[in-house]
Every structure is written in structure tokens, then in C-alpha cells.
Structure 1
Amino acid sequence: MAVLGARQGSGVLLRPELVLTSAHLFRRDDAVEVAAPNGDGRVPCDVVWSGDPKTCDMALLVARRPVLSFRHAAPLRWGKCAGWQPMPRCQVLGFPRVQRYAGEELEAAQVPGTLMPLAGRMRGRYVLHADHHPPAPVLDGSPWAGLSGGPVFAGPLLIGIASGDPMGWQHSSVESVPLAAAMENHGFREALLSHWPDAPAFEEVSSAYPEDLIYEPAYAKAVKAAYSRLEIFGLDELSSGDWDLDTAYLSLEAQSPHARSGPRRIEDLLGSRPRTVLRGEAGAGKTTLVWWLASHTVCRTLPEQLSELDGMIPFVVPMRSLAARGITSPTPSQLPKIARLPVDRPPDGWAGRVLEAGRGLLLVDGMDEIPQVDRELARKWLAGLLRMYPRTRCLVTVRPLAVGGGWLEQEGFEELRLLPLGDSDIRSFARSWHRAARLECDRYPDEHWAERQRNRLHALEYELDQEFGRSEALRDLARTPLLCAVICALHRQRNGFLPKTRWDLYSAALNLMLATRDIHRRIHQPEGIELTVDEGRQLLQRIAVWLVRNGRAELTREQAVRQLESALRGLRRVRSQGTPQAVLAHLLNRSGLLQERSPDAIQFIHRTFQDYLAAKELQESDCLDELLLHAAEEQWQDVLRLAVGHCGRSEERRLLAGLTAAADAAPDREMEWPLRNLAAHCAVNARYLEDVQYEQVWEGLKGLLPAVSDGEFLFMDADVLAALGDMGLSPGEVYVRPPAERPPD
């Protein structure tokens, strides 16, 4: 806008009644008016603060009525230069003398140029070199007269206020006072905040590409759209929608392997750890945490403990997607594309500039979801990227046993492990689940029916909370967010009756999704296909076992169709209803267990269901020997743990005998340890095991105790540790920390 006083100048409207301009345009007691191009005439102003033109050439004016409405204006953003490279595509706006027309009428000018951050540093100024030919000289001053007080922008960021035309450059340059420098002046800061308490925080401009700053809001919007909503297991039977992530998010507890203190909330631990490897069991909430971090980082809404991450640029790297697309070492330019966000292509080199400036937050999710043979290559890729961009913050999530301890220690990573849900967290999660279910009732057109359902959910929530309080066995089943959600869903669907074992829980969850989901939603034979529970399970088992055998977490449509073609040879009733392609479409649309999160990349909604179904397929197809052959491979070990729950009496004996024989034949402790622990886990969960074989399994494990490293201790799951405690072994007999790892006294 134009600033009209003893001298004509320019200014910028900060709020409907607050104007920022140059101090040298007037004295404090001068009468001042402002006029905006789209306003309704001149508006009188009062000068509320004016600096020394030689040191802080800025002034604040308060208009006596609103100059313009800000109803549809984008929020003003402030910036400061953090680098020294020339910055093209900047501009200064105002009403210079050179732009006047006949009768000395004012007209706005937009002067593009290159900002030279070092050129005026000694005087505390920014210098903008105009891109076009300089204006012709005038006899009595500068052709830029009248531009003083005009805003200087780098992309969308206001970084300074035009203040002068430096001598000797033949009017090709314009000086400005940096906003950041003005904020260091106590008087200016006090006056500004008294009229604008929520003035924006400064954003650093360290790039010579201000178009990056134009792109970043679009990228942030895409991240929020992709990661701020979450499917909650058991609630999709109500509708096909999803829920605000904060409705389902639960602040989890974690602990460092070397911590002398007790567990702490993950937000408290991540804030002080720029690089973290986060280990967690299946369904422990690792991916939910990654999504929560990404969406809150771009929205600048993280809690105080993580405030350093606010405004950073998150790059979510789902490793399962990399494996499916054959990408092993993504370059910086590929990082924004891996998650396939709904946003246009970024400016060339943008991601590299973000990482170079230390503004990147790398969220590598599911390192265990790539084949084991590729993990060393992935480690080298990540290590190389972080050495190239050492200021990048990074979180890597992985299952407990997928990589060894100290896997990224040389790159400055610290280890954290997500802990099982505590008793109070289980009940908190259940309350959140039921709250989300009640919110869905708001969509029912019949308010009477909606109120009945809300009341029913209130009653179910109270009953389940009481059951969690009474039953330790039920709490032990609900130690991960996934299984807690499954219990909530089954409790609701079964009117309060719950399964007693983990396998019964998974089986009931599959029945819920495959049999009753469409019934609850009053959907009958969509796509012209109707599957029984067993038919749906058989089809899904073929896909699951293919994924396990190939070390994959995703497959293409073509690969899925081939597996279904094979399965349909024995399912004549299903085959008569449609092609394998139609059956696949039905499973994707109706089962709730398969999803196509990105084009031509099909996966299970959770890896746990993949492993459960693969274990069932291996047991039913008499492939336990194949399972034993892979017992030493980390990607097969969860499948093996789940297989024992599917086995009959003779199969249990065979599985335990095979694990014991493999452990007896192991050439060293490193190979023997995981096999003994797997055998112990299976023995705890076997239903028909005789005492002689049971004791043989435990004697084999006891012969190796105590664990002598963090890696060995991590392999001992909760079932095994609990059984050892019941046998009377003390913690010192189970695990002895090596001297080199023992914390100082």
C-alpha cells in the first residue's frame, strides 16, 4: 500500500489495521495516511513506534479503521536469510517515483531481482539486485523514491522492508532492513506484539530457490491429507470411512536398552534423540507413530517435548513399498515420491536442499518388511544418505529381531523399544475405540436408532473396562494396540463374549471380517460373488504364504491373480461365480483384510494377519518341514510362533522335535540361541505337549542361560520370560549385562 505523509512511501499491511513501513518517511508527530490498491480511499493512521533510520529504519502505524478485510487472505509468513548464496526470484513491491503516470498518479510496481545476503551485511541490510535494466536517472534524487517501506519477499516469505537506493549501482539495487534484525530491537518487538500477539515465527530461507517455499505448503497439505487419518480395526464395519488419527493415537511407552530409569513416554524420549532405531512387536503401533509424527510435524502441532520438529519436512519411507517397486537405494529426489502423496512434482533438487539445510525428518517405516538379504544394502543406503546430509533427523522402525543391536550405531542412532501396553493404557485405548465408534453414530439418519447404539456402546465400554480390570489373561492378550482393537471389535460384535487365546482371537477377527462385516453393513453379494468364511480364508492363505515364501510384504495384481488361480482349482463353487480378477476385486473391496494402498501394490492391513494366514496354510498343506527349514530366518520366525497354535497333537510333537534337533545341531551359540527360544515359545503355547518333551525343551534353553547381550535378551519374548519366572529363575539368572555395556556407577 501507499504511505502518504510529508513524503510518499510504501508499506505492507500486517493485519487489517496494522501497517509496517520505513521510519525515514516522517517524523513521529506527522499526519500519516495509507491507501491500498483495493481499498476505499485514504485511511488516517497513528505512528505507534518509529526507529532510528540509521539503525532500524522501520515504523509501525495503526489505522483508525480497517484498511482491508483479511477474510480470504492467506496467513502472512515471515522469513530470514540463513545462507549466503545469491537468491534469485525475490521481489520488492511498492509505489516508486519511476512508476508514476501523468499528473503524478501513483501506480504499484513489482520489482523482481536477486537477493545478495552478503552484500549489505556490514550495515545490517539486505541488497536486492533488480533483474531488469535499471530505471533512467532523474535530476533531483532516485527514480526509486517512494519505494521506501515496501515489502521485500523471498517466495511467499516477507523478509525485509525497502529502505534505500545504494550509491554507485546506477539504481540497479535496492536496500532493505531485515525483519529479523528489527525483531532484535526491544522497542519494535514490544510495540509489534502489543498489537499482534500471535505474530508468525520466522522461517529460515537457506535456499537460492524461493519457489521451494511456494511448493512446501502444498507438500505439507498432502502429508496431512495422507497421514492424519487412520483405519481403526473393527470400526470399518460401521462404514467405509476412516477416523482422525488423534482419535486412535495413544502415547506409547518405550525404553532404552541401557536405561537405568523406568519406562517413559515415547515423545519424551524422541525429543532428545535426533536419530533413533525404534523396535516394536507386531501391532505395537510403530506405523501409527510414524503417521502421527508426519502429520503433526507439518501442522506445527507437536507437543512441547518434540517442538524442535515443528515445521520440519517429513519424508515417510514405507520400506514395503520400496521392495515391491524394486527400489533399493532411493535418491533424495525420490523421497517425496515414494509415499505417492497427492501433490504435484516438487521443484528440481528440492528434497536435497531440504536435507542440506537440516530441515528434513526421515521416517523409515518397517525395515523388517524388506527381504533379509536386502537389509545390509538398505543400511548402507541410509548411512550414506545421512553422511551426505548430517543434519537430517531420522527415525527407523523395525521389529525386535529384524536387525542386530548397534545396526546403525556408527551413524549416531540410539535404540528404543516400544513396550507392551500397560494396564491403564489398555483401558485408555479401549475408551478411545468406543469413543470413535460413538462418533460414527452421528452419521445415522435415524436419530432414535443412533441414540440406542450410543447407549449400547456406553454399556459395552463399561463392561469391557470391568472385564479388563478383573481378568489378567484378557489384559495379557491386549498388550498391543492392534490386539486391543481386535478385542474391542469382537466384544462389540459378540455382545460381550470374548476368545480366550491369541489364536482364537485371530480366528474370531477373521470371521468378523470375512463373514459378519457385510451382514452388519446390510450388503449382499456385491460384485456378484459370495464367499463363506472358509473360502475367503483359503484364498487369503495362498496370498499370505506366497508373500512369506518370497520375503515380501506387497504383491502386484498380476501376482495376486496367479495365486488365486491356483487356489480356485480346488474351490469350484467360487470358480463358478467369477474370474480370479473378479474374486480379487471382491477380496479388496469386501474382506477388509487386503488393501491396495498404492496403485498395483496389494498388502494385508497388518503383517500379523499375513503371518497368521501363512502359518495356517503351511500347517494345512503339511509343510511344517519347510517351516522348520527356515526357522533360523527372522522373517519366518513370527510365522513359526503362530503355526504352533494351528497344530494338532502329532504336529506339535513334530514341530518341537524339529526345533530341538536343529538347536542340538547348531554349530555355535549364535545359531542355537534363537532356536532354543522359539522352541520354548512353542512349548508354552502348545495345547497337547507331553511332560517329557516339554521338559526337554526347557532344559535346552536353561543350558544357555543367562542371556549375555541385548540382542539375546530381545529374542526372549514375553511368554518365555513369564514361564522362566514361574519356574523360579531370578532376573539375574535370565540376563547378565556384559561389563562393557554396564552403565557407570
Structure 2
Amino acid sequence: MPSVEDRLVAVLGARQGSGVLLTPELVLTSAHLFERGDAVEVVAPDGDGRVPCDVVWSGDPDTCDLALLVTRRSVLPLGTAPPLRWGKCAGWQPMPRCQVLGFPQVQRYESDELEAVQIPGTLMPLSGRMRGRYVLHADHHPPAPVPDGSPWAGLSGGPVFAGPLLIGIASGDPLGWQHASIESMPLATAFNDPGFRMALLDRWPDPPVFEEVSSAYPEDLVYEPAYAKAVKAAYSRLEIFGLDELSSGDWDLDTAYLSLEAQSSPEARPGSPEPRGRIEDLLGSRPRTVLRGEAGAGKTTLVWWLASHAACRTLPEQLSELDGLIPFVVPMRSLAARGITSPTPSQLPKIARLQVDKPPDGWAGRVLEAGRGLLLVDGMDEIPQADRELARKWLAGLLRMYPRTRCLVTVRPLAVGSDWLEQEGFEELRLLPLGDEDIRSFAGAWHRAARLECDRYADEHWAKRQRKRLVALELELDREFRRNDVLRDLARTPLLCAVICALHRQRNGFLPETRWDLYSAALNLMLATRDIHRRIHQPEGIELTTDEGRQLLQRIAVWLVRNGRAELTREQAVRQLESALRGLRRVRAQGTPQAVLMHLLNRSGLLQERSPDAIQFIHRTFQDYLAAKEFQESDCLDELLLHAAEEQWQDVLRLAVGHCGRSEERRLINGLTAAADAAPDRETEWPLRALAAHCSLNARYIEDDQYLQVWKSLKKLLPARDERELQALGRDVLAAVH
């Protein structure tokens, strides 16, 4: 069942007509085909013969010429058919490229056998306005008259489609047009009839919602299935960290998707009984949402999951309000890299660089105007802080222009203020750390995905051994998560949970004990042992040690941080590698900076080129970790301290302390304390005190006098005044305070 046209059926009773399958047992046709007590059957071109049915509702042929039939068995299996969509005309302008389907007299074989007809034409909404009908003028020459009636006899009840939307049911052949026009009953008219609505909902509780069709732009309906297919292709696959030991690591997103838990601020909805719950339950009732989450918390995965399922109309019931909307994914890191600050509606379909033809002129604006758009703005923290106010004004202006647009904005916890989009009607949700059960669920999904990869092995004996080993590792890791509180605390985000799963497998059950050891081991896994385990030697003629690969990636990472960017071009990356290669003679002898960049893109697993000439780290956390290491190794901690009050640099500072030696730790913490002492107000001082406390907790060596001074200064500011201050403390500091 590849298309909606396959829903066509012939209706056989006292008169022959046509109809359309709403469900495998529900048929919509014309009321004037029947008299009371008629025996009625339907037959589908691809079905297995005639199927008896009952007329469960029939309208007045003069005012609502529609009838609803229920078959006594399934006519066709519709499981693989695209969902049926309903439409209604939103204006009076002619709408070309429509069609009516059916089994008319004019199409019969010589032995009077039925044959289907497909009549393309232009729908003229105004032509039948007084009688409550749509009129379709056929594009081709009208059929010749027949002596005993209309050549279109038998077409009654046939579906009228505008693109993929069912908008009406053929009902007659108006006099005076020499069979060049066909009348139809608008589907929306029937739904206004209480009897029809009750009969339909009894048998089909969840029918489609009506979509408005702008009659001036029928090409939109032709383009949208191609756009949806491109969205599905782009966003239904996900790279799961650690699985690319086996292959590309590119997995069906639903295999890895974990329903995350989120929390709304109690002030947002006073009296709401559910301030906390699964993200799907909370998002459905919020037309505009700012979603805050830590690095690696799953924000981008959620955006991709929403986009791919909304485009394909496969979202769960809790998100039915979003199902079928047209998603526009706006990765803010890409905008910053391309110098776009205020994308227009016409730019929205192009930002993600989908593999689809150029849309019809003005299409995105018409989608937004009709309230059919789902705007997914991902990573507002990934543009420079100075540009965020400009981004807010752009988004606010766009939503005022198109007020019915649903919108989700993702951001790290402290990147923007709590009132950043409050005036535009946004509500805030915050992704919560993975609970103990969620950690085990994610680890289970990770190992299931790894076992699926074993199906690709040519050696079945080896594949069986690997599956058995993965089952044993999964059970062992589950026991470790239940037993080890420190390990569970490290696994509170999907990214770090995936890192733990990968390292547990690669190290045969031995795991790092601190966050820094975890990242270091992950980098070692990606940069060295990954190719060794895959028996790959000197790909592209270049071989890097772990330290050489790390040195090269550090230069790229620190450039991104210094420039407030999350992406860079090939040319910019090559310049950074040229600088790094001056001190790496062994690597320089193996190839050009361009060849080294290609090697890192192909082999490291840490850099990726998601679109032409836009290079980024697979996750911002690895960028920040490597940049922090470069600042420490190049004796640039003072530069870090100069930017300590800037939110984009604070994650780098948190990671830097784990790289520092004894004297560097003292210098870093003293610098943060001095910056906090000099802060002009509480708003600036609070995050600096929190940073100093975090560093004091994670320093490998800190003397008592310095430690006590840090906490004494922080406690003078307690208690926190609002949710934002609490979030600035972070889990480690918050736990120590309590």
C-alpha cells in the first residue's frame, strides 16, 4: 500500500458506485447510491473479492450526500499505507493538481467490467459555494455523452484528493458543463453533522484533524512528502558513543532513544499536579518550551526524535498535538558558523541542509502562517553570549509574525535567564539526571544495539561468541550499577552512560573512577585502541599515537572556545593543524595538514563533518575537555580566569581543574576566589563562588586553609534565592552544601 490512492474501492448495491477506505473495515461513499434495505458489497482492486457491508449512517443526498459503511471483514491490510489525512479549502482561489478517483461508466471494458479512473483537474471552491459543494474541472477533454445518463455514472462516492489530503467525495455531474465538471461533497461538511460524527467516532475514535489547504499553492502538497522523507532520513539515525568499535555507529534512533524525565518550575503552572514527569507527557501541553539540560543530557537526541516522528506522523498519543506538523530544525551552532543571525522563513528548510530539492517559493512562510510548523531551535548556548539577545529578538519576531507556531528551544542550564522568552509565552522545562532505573534501561538499550551489530558478522560462530559476551557484560555492568554509588553518579547523563558502557566492554569490566579518568579513557578508546581492535593499520597512510591525536584535537578545541564557536570550516581546521604540526615532526612527515584532518575525520570518531565545510566535535563535552587540557598545557590558565564570568567558558573551567598539577590547582582556585571578591554584584559573584567550590571539591590536592576559605565565602551567600542560583551550584556542590 504505497499511497493514498490504494484506498479506492468499488461499491456494489442496487447501483454501482465508488468509495474510499478510511480503515480496513470502514468505507466512506455517497448516500444517493442506496435505498433502505439494499444489500451492499465493496471490492478493492488489490483485495481478495467482494466483502459484504452494512450502511451504518446515511445523510440527506441534497444536503450531506455521504454514507458510512462497515464491512464484515477487513477489505485490505492498511498497516503499511501512509496515514490518511483530511483537508478543507482555506480560500476561494482555484486549486490545480487535484484528482478524483472511481469506477465510472466511461471506463468500462466491452463486457461491462469495472476499471478504475484517475481524473486530474482544478478544484474551483467558489463554483459550488451556494450548494455547499466543491467543483472540479477536469484537465482533459470531457468524455462523450452516453444515451442513458452521465458517462461519469459509477464515479459517485469516489475520493477527491488535493495532494495527499482527502477533501471530498464525488457526488454528481452538474448540468450544462457537458461532463467537463464533477461535483463533490466537502468532507468537512459531513463532520459538522452530529449523526455522522457519532457514527464515525464509535468506529474510529481518533480520525485525522482537518488541515487547511491554500488553494493557490497546490505544489506545497506535492513537496511536503519529499520534505518529510528527507527529515526522516536526516534525523532517524543516531551515532551511539562506543558502538563504532564495530561499525559506523550509525543506529536507528528508536533503538537508542530513552524517554527522559523533566521538571517544570512550580511557578510556571501554579496548582499543576504534575510538575515532574516524562518529557513526552510535559511537552504535549506546552506550545512553546525552553528545555534546559546539562551537557550530554539528551537535548539534541530529543530534537531529532521529535523531528523524525512529527514528519512521519508517528509520535505517541501524548504528543498528538505535534503529530503531522512540519519540523524545522535550527542547529544554532550551524547558524553561528555560517554567519546567519536572523534566518527568514525561506531559510528555515535550508539550514539543516537536507537532501531534498528546493521548496516552492514561500512554502515555509505558508506552513508557519497555517500553524503547521514545529520550530526546533537546538543549542542556544552554542552561539556567542553577545549574540543571544539578537537570537532572542529574531525568535520573538518570528513567533509574533506566526503566532500559531509550536516551538522548542534547547539550552544549557545557565546560558540564558529564566525570563529570556517569558514574554513570548514560553514555559521552562529542565531535563533531570537519569534515575537509577533509567541508567539500567539505557545500558540495556546500548547492549541490545551492540548485539544487533553482531548480525553483520560473516562468521556466525564469532558472532555467537560476541553476543554471549555482550550478554555477560550487560549483566555484570548492571550489578556494578546497583552496587557502586560513585559509578551511578557518573552515569547520570546519556552521554556518560554510553561512555561507561563502551569502556566497560573495551576493558572487559574494568572502569575508571573519576569523571576525568572517564574522559581520558574514552579519548584513548577513540584515538588508539579502536583501530587496533578493528585490525586497521595506517589508514590513509597516517598513524597517530593517542597523545599525537589528542594534541591535534586540542588545537581545534581551544580555537572553538576562544572564538565562541561550535563549528569551523575545513580551512580554519587546517590552519590550526598547521600550527600544531610545527611541534609534531613524526606526524608532519606522514602527510599534509589536509591529510591529517581527513584522518581525524575518518578515524578519530571525535570529529565529524555533518554538512559540507562544517566540522564539529561529536559532543560539546569532548570539545570543552580537550580545550581545558590545552589551556593547562600551554600555561594559559590566566586566560581562562579572565573569562571566568562568561557562561560559555565555565564548563571549560570546571574541566580544567582535573588536568592541573598541585600548584596550578591552587592558582586556579585563588584566581576564581579573587574574581568573586571583585565581583560588582551578587549575580556575577554567585557563579564564581560556585565554580571555586566545584574546583575545590575536585582538586587532587588542596590545603585546608584554601578549602575552608572557599566554602566560607560561598556560605555567606546562602541560601540560594531562586532556581537559577541552585542550578549554578551543580550537583556536587549542592550535595556538599547539604
Is TM > 0.5 for Structure 1 vs Structure 2? yes
- The residue type paired with residue 119 of structure 2 is Q
Do the aligned partners of 1:80 and 1:204 also contact (CA within 8 Å) in 2? yes
Q: 1:622 to 1:78 in 2, by over 3 A?
A: closer
Q: Does 1:77 align with 2:84?
A: yes
Structure 1 counterpart of 2:359, from 319, 334, 346: 346
**Structure 2 Cα separation of the partners of residues 44 and 596 of structure 1:** 55
Task: Classify the secondary structure of the residue corresponding to 1:717.
Answer: helix
Structure 2 counterpart of 1:151, from 159, 163, 186: 159
Which deviates the most, 646-655 or 134-143? 134-143
Q: Does 1:652 align with 2:660?
A: no
Partner of 2:401: 388
Q: Does 1:258 align with 2:271?
A: no
Partner of 2:4: none
**Structure 2 Cα separation of the partners of residues 405 and 66 of structure 1:** 54
Which runs of no fewer than 5 residues in structure 1 stay unpaired?
726-745
Q: 1:446 to 1:143 in 2, by over 3 A?
A: closer
Q: Does 1:548 align with 2:561?
A: yes
Which deviates the most, 178-187 or 554-563? 178-187
Deviation at 1:451, TM superposition (A): 2.0
Q: 1:171 to 1:622 in 2, by over 3 A?
A: same
Deviation at 1:234, TM superposition (A): 0.9
Partner of 1:412: 425
Deviation at 1:473, TM superposition (A): 1.4
Structure 1 counterpart of 2:497, from 484, 498, 501: 484
Instruction: Note the alpha carbon deviations across 1:427-477, whole angstroms, 9 max, x for none.
Output: 221222122212222222222222222222222222222222222111111
Which deviates the most, 700-709 or 527-536? 700-709
Task: Classify the secondary structure of the residue corresponding to 1:499.
Answer: coil
Instruction: Note the alpha carbon deviations across 1:712-732, whole angstroms, 9 max, x for none.
Output: 22211111111211xxxxxxx
Deviation at 1:52, TM superposition (A): 3.2
Task: Classify the secondary structure of the residue corresponding to 1:343.
Answer: coil
Q: 1:284 to 1:4 in 2, by over 3 A?
A: closer
Structure 1 counterpart of 2:612, from 588, 599, 605: 599
Q: 1:99 to 1:495 in 2, by over 3 A?
A: closer
Q: 1:45 to 1:306 in 2, by over 3 A?
A: closer
Deviation at 1:264, TM superposition (A): 1.7
Q: 1:485 to 1:667 in 2, by over 3 A?
A: same
Partner of 1:368: 381
**Structure 2 Cα separation of the partners of residues 134 and 446 of structure 1:** 64
**Structure 2 Cα separation of the partners of residues 15 and 618 of structure 1:** 63
Matches within 5 A, 1:249-648: 249-258=257-266, 263-648=276-661
Instruction: Note the alpha carbon deviations across 1:143-162, whole angstroms, 9 max, x for none.
Output: 86665444322123232122
Count of residues paired in the alignment = 721
Partner of 2:3: none
Do the aligned partners of 1:87 and 1:207 also contact (CA within 8 Å) in 2? no
Q: 1:638 to 1:6 in 2, by over 3 A?
A: closer
Which deviates the most, 198-207 or 137-146? 137-146
**Structure 1 Cα separation of the partners of residues 111 and 540 of structure 2:** 75
**Structure 1 Cα separation of the partners of residues 433 and 285 of structure 2:** 22
Q: 1:624 to 1:617 in 2, by over 3 A?
A: same
**Structure 2 Cα separation of the partners of residues 231 and 407 of structure 1:** 32
**Structure 2 Cα separation of the partners of residues 616 and 39 of structure 1:** 65
Instruction: Note the alpha carbon deviations across 1:154-205, whole angstroms, 9 max, x for none.
Output: 12323212223556888775431123434566776788799x9699635413
**Structure 2 Cα separation of the partners of residues 284 and 19 of structure 1:** 47
Do the aligned partners of 2:88 and 2:187 also contact (CA within 8 Å) in 1? no
Do the aligned partners of 1:43 and 1:64 also contact (CA within 8 Å) in 2? no
Instruction: Note the alpha carbon deviations across 1:623-652, whole angstroms, 9 max, x for none.
Output: 111111111111111111111111111111
Q: 1:20 to 1:431 in 2, by over 3 A?
A: closer
Partner of 1:110: 119
Task: Classify the secondary structure of the residue corresponding to 1:112.
Answer: strand
Task: Classify the secondary structure of the residue corresponding to 2:638.
Answer: helix
Instruction: Note the alpha carbon deviations across 1:566-616, whole angstroms, 9 max, x for none.
Output: 100100000111111111111011110001111111100000000000000
Partner of 1:741: none
Do the aligned partners of 2:286 and 2:427 also contact (CA within 8 Å) in 1? yes
**Structure 2 Cα separation of the partners of residues 16 and 713 of structure 1:** 55
Partner of 1:740: none
Do the aligned partners of 1:96 and 1:109 also contact (CA within 8 Å) in 2? no
Q: 1:126 to 1:453 in 2, by over 3 A?
A: same
**Structure 1 Cα separation of the partners of residues 376 and 553 of structure 2:** 30
Do the aligned partners of 2:212 and 2:370 also contact (CA within 8 Å) in 1? no
Structure 1 counterpart of 2:93, from 65, 86, 109: 86
Q: 1:95 to 1:296 in 2, by over 3 A?
A: closer
Do the aligned partners of 1:282 and 1:608 also contact (CA within 8 Å) in 2? yes
Do the aligned partners of 2:159 and 2:170 also contact (CA within 8 Å) in 1? yes
Do the aligned partners of 1:28 and 1:47 also contact (CA within 8 Å) in 2? no
Do the aligned partners of 1:238 and 1:520 also contact (CA within 8 Å) in 2? no
Q: 1:29 to 1:316 in 2, by over 3 A?
A: same
Deviation at 1:425, TM superposition (A): 1.6
**Structure 2 Cα separation of the partners of residues 26 and 465 of structure 1:** 65
Do the aligned partners of 1:19 and 1:61 also contact (CA within 8 Å) in 2? yes
Q: TM-score, normalised by structure 2?
A: 0.88
Do the aligned partners of 1:119 and 1:126 also contact (CA within 8 Å) in 2? yes
Structure 2 counterpart of 1:211, from 190, 205, 219: 219
Percent identical residues: 82
**Structure 1 Cα separation of the partners of residues 311 and 83 of structure 2:** 17
Q: 1:398 to 1:20 in 2, by over 3 A?
A: closer
Q: TM-score, normalised by structure 1?
A: 0.88
Do the aligned partners of 1:76 and 1:200 also contact (CA within 8 Å) in 2? no
**Structure 2 Cα separation of the partners of residues 579 and 8 of structure 1:** 76
Deviation at 1:682, TM superposition (A): 1.0
- The residue type paired with residue 266 of structure 2 is H
Q: 1:688 to 1:74 in 2, by over 3 A?
A: closer
**Structure 2 Cα separation of the partners of residues 66 and 442 of structure 1:** 36
Do the aligned partners of 1:239 and 1:521 also contact (CA within 8 Å) in 2? no
Partner of 1:728: none
**Structure 2 Cα separation of the partners of residues 73 and 472 of structure 1:** 46
Q: 1:226 to 1:111 in 2, by over 3 A?
A: closer
Do the aligned partners of 2:307 and 2:329 also contact (CA within 8 Å) in 1? yes
Partner of 2:172: 164
**Structure 1 Cα separation of the partners of residues 659 and 708 of structure 2:** 22
Q: 1:60 to 1:464 in 2, by over 3 A?
A: closer
Which deviates the most, 49-58 or 267-276? 49-58
Do the aligned partners of 1:76 and 1:157 also contact (CA within 8 Å) in 2? no
Partner of 2:6: none
Q: 1:638 to 1:17 in 2, by over 3 A?
A: closer
Task: Classify the secondary structure of the residue corresponding to 1:588.
Answer: helix
Task: Classify the secondary structure of the residue corresponding to 2:245.
Answer: coil
**Structure 2 Cα separation of the partners of residues 559 and 303 of structure 1:** 43
Do the aligned partners of 1:402 and 1:634 also contact (CA within 8 Å) in 2? yes
